[in-house]
Every structure is written in C-alpha cells, then in structure tokens.
C-alpha cells in the first residue's frame, strides 16, 4: 500500500519510537551458528520480541540486554493492524529494524511463529529500500520493489512464507529521519489464538 501513512503520521510514529528505543535500546543481533553480526540494529515492542543470538532465533518477553519487558506496541500501529491485516487477533510483536550505513537483510522467511494464518505487516519509515521477494522455496526467481517512507506491505496468504529481504537502502530519499537511514516495523502474531 504505497504512501498509506501520510507525512504527519510518519513523523508522530518516529517520535513515539524514539521514546520506546530509549527504554529498549537498539542491539546488534548475531547469527546463531556463526556468531556473525547482523548489519541492522534491532529492538522490539509488544509482549514478545524476536531475538537472534548464539542460542538461536526465538521470541522472548524481555530485552536481551536490559532484561526488562519490551515497551508496548503504540496505538497507531495497533489501529493499522486492525485496518489492514484481515486477522482477528492483535499482534504480539513489533520488530523494529534500523538500517543505516550500508545495512541490508539477506533473503529469509518469517517462520518462527506458531500460526502462519496471521500475516506479517511491514511499515517503512525513512529512506527508500530495495525490497527483494522470491517464492516459498529458497532459490529461483525473485522480484524487486522499492519501499518508500509511509509504505505498508502485508505478507499474508500465499506470500506469508515467501523468501524476502532488503538489498540496499537508497540514502537521501527521505528527510523523515534527521541523520538519514530507514526504520522498518514488522508486526506479527506469534502464538495461536
């Protein structure tokens, strides 16, 4: 949904996120097997947060460094979920990814959740990203799509388990974030209702 969030809604959401990140600071996760660091920094909002470390990928109720519960998912994001997800239950996790300085995300599937009937809802804020999407199996044909600030993407139904990632972020394509970069918010239902 290109431009689904207007400029003022984006600005207010960024201000809300600043407060949340002060309580749950961005961390650099590592890959489970190799310990190799991600190029994005992450935090979470909601009752559960997605983490990656030497122990594996998982959802947990607390920040990995502070040990405190994640801040709540802001009301505007909950309203957006109700408006566009087509799913009757509330999201339980909002992964916050911050991309800057050449950060990217390799092709992956969001498959750590219990119920794939719930979609994954993605909100883009800041610089435009080159989003790559393939099929449900690794390898094969992929397509790219530019995701700009305010764009909302819902991966549900047949696309729910498709491989996807961020090839690169295009610097200077948005003035939303003072120092540039991109924030991606990914809302997810984790447990079965």
Tokens of 168: 């690169």
- Whole-prediction pTM value? 0.94
State how far the Cα of 130 lies from the Cα of 144, in Å rounded to an integer. 6
Is it the case that residue 140 has pLDDT exceeding 90?
no
Would you report the helix, strand and coil content of the chain in percent, each value rounded to 5? 15, 35, 50
pLDDT digits (tens, 9 = 90+) for 58-112: 999 999 999 999 999 999 999 999 999 999 999 999 999 999 988 999 888 988 9
Give the whole-angstrom CA distance, residue 63 versus residue 103: 22
Q: Which domains does the chain show, CATH number per domain?
A: 7-188 (2.60.120.590)
């Amino acid at each position: 949904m290109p431009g689904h969030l207007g400029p003022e809604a984006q600005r207010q959401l960024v201000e809300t996120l600043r407060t949340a990140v002060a309580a749950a600071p961005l961390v650099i996760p590592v890959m489970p097997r190799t310990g190799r660091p991600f190029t994005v920094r992450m935090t979470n909002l909601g009752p559960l947060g997605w983490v990656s470390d030497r122990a594996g990928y998982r959802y947990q109720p607390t920040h990995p460094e502070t040990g405190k519960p994640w801040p709540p998912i802001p009301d505007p994001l909950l309203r957006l979920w109700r408006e566009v997800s087509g799913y009757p239950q509330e999201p339980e996790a909002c992964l916050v990814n911050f991309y800057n300085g050449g950060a990217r995300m390799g092709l992956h599937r969001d498959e750590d959740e219990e119920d794939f009937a719930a979609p994954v809802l993605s909100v883009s804020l800041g610089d435009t990203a080159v989003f790559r999407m393939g099929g449900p199996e690794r390898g094969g044909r992929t397509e790219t799509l530019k995701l700009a600030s305010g764009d909302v993407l819902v991966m549900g139904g047949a696309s729910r388990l498709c491989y996807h990632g961020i090839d690169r972020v295009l610097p200077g394509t948005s003035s939303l974030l003072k120092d540039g970069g991109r924030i991606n918010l990914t809302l997810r239902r984790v447990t079965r209702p």
